[in-house]
Structure 1
Amino acid sequence: MRTLVLWDIDLTLVDYSGIGRRWYADALAEVAGVPLAHLPSFPGRTERSLAREFLTAHGFEHSDERVERFFAALTALAEQDRESLPRLGRVLAGAREILTELASREDVVQSLVTGNLPVLAGYKLEAFDLHHHIDFEIGGYGSLSEHRHDLVEAAISQAASKHATAFDSVVVVGDTPHDVAAGLHHGTTTVGVATGRYTVEELTESGAHVALPDLSDTPAVAKALLA
């Protein structure tokens, strides 16, 4: 049985708490020349959704052209911080071990459904040498849509096309009810991980098929993902 596992990044695999606020404030100053006055809620959101809310809240039209300029500014800021990212963040417990375990299995493909821009996703995982386990070509990224379920659809479609097969099982893993809802929208197995702002109970109530406190118990996590 072939399984496609689609990982969220922030507060599921790694923690860069605080860096988003700085990048958004600096990107706003560059694109619009105004100081930060409003910060959107980040968990589970896509970069396109966040950028549009952010620009609107600061009095600017969220046209596609302006959003793309904002994305370019975020990408440039991430590039500047690239070498510092190992000091600005941390790998969450068990993330490295479960990625490595799944990578050892020929019947598993790992990719992403993340609100991050593609370049930011790569940098955040590369900082801790986690990128080798992920197929970035078939991921669903936050530049695509305001709606997270569109990212899941894109990832599944691209994976099926690249591997010339319909996967027997698709698993979406994340730390928020948004991740869970996006997976459920497409009938995937959903696994919630309570390493962000939501508890095991809240993730279970949101509909997650399995909710884990963290990724530290590699056999238990593998069982949940490959059941």
Structure 2
Amino acid sequence: MPPDNDSDTLLIFDLDGTLLDVFGYHIACVEKVVKQVWNVPDQLHKSKRYGIPQLETIRKICEAGGVPDEEINRHLQRAQQMLTVEMQRTLPQDLSGTLLPGAIELLDELAERQKVCLSLATGTIGPTAEILLARSGLKKYFPVGAFGHEVFSRQELVRLALERSCDHYGMDETQIHVVTIGDAPSDIEAGRSIGAHTVSVASSLFSPDELARFSPDVLLASFEDVENALESILGSV
């Protein structure tokens, strides 16, 4: 039986590019670590490897640089640790200035709603994501989530976030509305893979026209108009 209009709603948010913008830090740190560990130069900002889990990004960079799978796997754990250290060192202590317009106001409104639960599905590796959440003030909104060191695809990421959220909130996934919110085409495709309603926000690298080609259920220019964003997200179910 599908969920009815009075069912709980689980909102699974992406992080970087959706709620805050630290993509430049990710680019610099990933490129530095890949160069140090595998001696592979890469211009991540010129690639299309955006919106996928961070370890998969590293893997694809190495593959493009001709690094054998055995060598990638041998050093991947070390690269993850180095990336965490580099991000912690590089990121400002106060990341409130990286929050995208309307993000905090939207989350404040959603956190007050009955039958609305919040979760996170971020391609950023867990330790780095914890730094981002703590330094930006977002941590209090997301008691549960899935992270980029745990899986190698966006589909697996949102599936893991859904399963963990159901356990955390005591939900039955067949009896709830699920909405994914993100800024990349991969967020739309991943949301669709778990049967979620998909909300896409053109707040980062992809234009509204680019996102529209992937047919999200809702397409927003930003969260700046909080009331419109709120109505669009909750009305999508």
TM-score for both structures, normalised by structure 2: 0.86
Identity among equivalent positions (%) equals 27
Per the alignment, residue 161 of structure 2 pairs with 155
Structure 2: how far apart are the matches of 1:196 and 1:83? 20
Does 2:30 align with 1:24? yes
Which of 173, 178, 190 does residue 182 from structure 1 map onto? 190
How many aligned residue pairs are there? 223
Q: Where do 5+ consecutive residues of structure 1 fail to align?
A: none
State how far apart, in whole Å, the 2-side matches of 1:225 and 1:38 are: 35
2:68: which partner in 1? Answer: 61
Which deviations, in whole Å up to 9, do the C-alpha atoms of 1:126-157 show, x marking residues without a partner? 2221211112xx31221122210111111111
Change beyond 3 A, Cα 1:31–1:210:
same
Kindly indicate whether residue 207 of structure 2 is the aligned counterpart of residue 195 of structure 1.
no
Equivalent position to 2:145, from 112, 119, 139: 139
State which of 197, 208, 232 in structure 2 corresponds to 1:224: 232
* Residue 95 (structure 2) aligns with: 86
Secondary structure of the residue aligned to 2:33 is helix
Partner deviation per Cα, 1:96-122 (whole Å, 9 max, x = no partner): 111111111232221111111112222
Q: How far apart in 1 are the matches of 2:23 and 2:81?
A: 21
CA distance in 1, matches of 2:49, 2:130: 19
CA–CA separation in structure 2 for the residues paired with 1:100 and 1:65: 43
CA distance in 1, matches of 2:172, 2:229: 23
Where does residue 126 of structure 2 map in the other structure? 118
Q: Is the 8 A contact 2:95 2:136 kept in 1?
A: yes
Q: Contact conserved, 1:13 with 1:92, CA < 8 A, in 2?
A: yes
- The structural deviation recorded for 1:44 is 1.1
**Structure-2 residue corresponding to 1:101:** 109
Bigger drift between 163-172 and 190-199 goes to 163-172
Q: Which amino acid aligns with 2:41?
A: L
1:36 aligns with one of 13, 38, 41 = 41
Aligned amino acid, residue 110 of structure 2: L
SS of structure 1 residue aligned to 2:118: strand
Residue 159 of structure 1, CA deviation:
1.2
State the alpha-carbon separation in 1 of the partners of residues 185 and 92 from structure 2.
32
Q: Residues 85 and 124 of structure 1 are in contact (CA less than 8 Å); yes or no, is this contact kept in structure 2?
A: no
1:38: Cα distance to partner?
Answer: 4.5
> Any gaps of 5 or more consecutive residues in structure 2?
1-6
Could you tell me how far 1:224 is from its partner in structure 2? 1.8
**3-state SS in 2 of match to 1:203:** helix
Cα deviations by residue, 1:22-76 (Å, 9 ceiling, x for unpaired): 10132124423x3624434342121121111122233433443422111111111
